[in-house]
Structure 1
Amino acid sequence: MLGKAVLLVALLAVAVGVYLLPSPIDPKPHVLKGPPPALEGPLAVNTRLQKGRRLFIGQLHGPESFTADQEGNVYTGTVDGKLWRIGRDDSLTLITQMGQAIPECGSSTDYEPVCGRPHGVRLDKHGQLIVGDSYLGLHSVNPQNGEKTLLLANSEGADGVPFAFLNGLEISSQTGTIYFTDSSRRWGRRHVKLEVIELNNLGRLLTYDPESGRVKVLLDALYMPNGIALSPDEDFLLLAETSIGRILRYWLKGPKAGTTEVVMDNMIGYPDNIRLSDHGTFLVGITTPRFRKLMPPFLDMIAPYPAVKRFLAKVIPLSWYDVLLPRHALVLELALDGRLLGSLQDPDGRLTRAVSDVFQHGGRTYLGSTDLPFLPVLELWDS
């Protein structure tokens, strides 16, 4: 009996200690629009994403975003802070390291603030790479010699608020304006799981004028704003709010200029980057599906309960949440008006299990990811 009493007291002491321990997150209750949509119609399960192959296994770790030049070279950045050029012959050339080149780069997210983590990557009209590094700010990089020029540091921020998590990036071909997102004013990329669990509207959509150096906030109070894509006429852009599974349209021109509307809500998964396809539609990479199988999705269940989320953030290591993620890759195709046209899926994770970006160039489709150690490609677009 004495032993049981001692054990009970010990367990009680541990429980009290955990309860009193401060939580790293400060969530607010959030009620989602409803259960995720059914896997039917345009979302019917298919294997269209399994018709590809993996390139650069063990060489490219987390190729997140892509752009291409007129010679057919493709550029991307990886979790170790490096920028790469992929030649038309599938050669791989290191362009530069965004931060410090130390041996630990890529071994742990703890080193990302030092090594850098390039997310949005685009080419401007001068042939320079514009890179949104999550930790180190906006840069212009010469793709030939790797020379870096800092345009806007995270510490500078906008309206007196520093950047914490630069993410999506797009450049106007008409004005040269750089559109970009800061996913959170609190959490950096290495704590993205805390950002998603916390589910607060701490992100912004911004612009940077490379001629004047002026930065401007277009939208505030966004839920983890992520990928952005300009329409063909650049009269609006689409923006993914990852943590609540929503896509917004922000009007840049016309009678609705400066206004926002919801294009897609209560999505089948959490959207990452949005890109224009080579046949005039939008392609949305789903970083994690949101499936309802035997029970509601985990994030759906805990969304309304801040106390539960505070407790989980205190006791569960961030890496453990990976076991809850379905290994089901998913890409959505949207019409310019936001209608869902179809999907490409890999329900078994044979080619890939998560998609951050869907970039079409030279007859090939490149599938990005945040941390997988290879680059999946489709040689043909299965329409």
Structure 2
Amino acid sequence: MNSKLFLILLTFCSLYSCKNTDFNTIDENIIVKAVEVELDKKLDSIHKLEHFHGIGVAVVNEKGPIFQEGYGYLDRKIRADYTEHTIQNIASISKVILGLTLAKAIEDGHLTLDDDINKYLDFKVRNPQHPDTPILVKHLSTHTSSIQDGDYYELSYINLEEDAVNNPKIDQEELAFFHSMKSAPCLEAYLKEGLQTVDTTQVSYIFNEYQPGTAYSYSNIGAGLTALIIEKATGTSFKEYSKKHIIDPLGLKNTSWNVSDLDSRKRSTLYSTLELRYPVYRLITFADGGLYTTPNDLGVILTEIIKGYNGDGTLLKTATYVQFFKKQLDESMFKTEKSLADYNKGFNKGMFITYERDGIGHSGGDPGVSTLMYFDPKTNIGRITFLNTDFNSQEAYESFVATDSILKSYGPQLLKK
């Protein structure tokens, strides 16, 4: 028996006369508290390896949070603690909220998954290699549109700090890949340029050779295009529509697509190394990875997703959630040996949401950001991990994986709480 657990049980016994206490009837909360202590110790030990400045975690089920905590700092200079209420962007986990927003727009009758995307756009989009095959909304939500990222996607990041250039605290090598605020195009202009480029030799050419709907190829640009289509279909900005129908109904006070809406004192600095940071930035294709939130708020979202999976969601009707979670990919859509192997292990896509890692959810990675959010449909237990520092070694990556593994293994032991 773990020494901490034994000590807690011994203390309990001394308080309540062992001769009148059966260990089988000891308050289960005492056991759970011991598990929390052990879990906290393991997570703290990962932080003490000093691969990352800050780590945020949460474990939830369909009833709400089970465990949430932060480790390290949201800013190394001021030594402010990273907590479950620390704000940072969550990279591609944002696509799950994009998927929920799309599902709501479909439920409200603004569009359907089988619509040709050109129904909503002011410019025509077809794969030049398959000009007679329409790209449908469902192709975007399942990454089968034949739109890929390539070099063009690297032009999607915007530096929001005017004095970032030559700032010794900012990674200048990484900064070279960021747009300035003055040079950055809007979402529609950015997409129009890339999606109307037909010369395959241009860096802005972003289509692969496959017919739309026939091959899986992950696309951040396709996610950004989905947000634009939702705007056109609803007559409302995507950010406003998502806030009204997803963020506000869940009561999320520290979640927004606009970093300026949130308390900068709670926002984490993002680091490229342990010494250098990134500037505050945003994405032109914001819906693919630009949501700002906290481990606590994302836990609320994950709780709703778990409830929705089980027919008890509040954001969408049960039938809409069924459509949201429905697996859309088949074996023929995987064209590489690795992707086919992933499919055979259970990989699939619903409406932007992913089946993988023995669960349902999404992962995320952006400059200074690594995130995971998954739930186990067998236990209804979900786990969340935030990091605010890039991987700078194999050991750092292994620590990230270990954090998720620890949360996954301890989740069932916390359920009795």
Report TM bin, short chain.
Answer: under 0.3
- Between structures 1 and 2, the one with greater strand share: 1
Provide the TM-score with structure 2 as the length reference: 0.25
Q: Which has the higher helix share?
A: 2
- Greater C-alpha radius of gyration: 2
Normalising to structure 1: TM-score of the pair? 0.27
Higher relative contact order, chain-length normalized (CA < 8 Å, sep 6+): 2
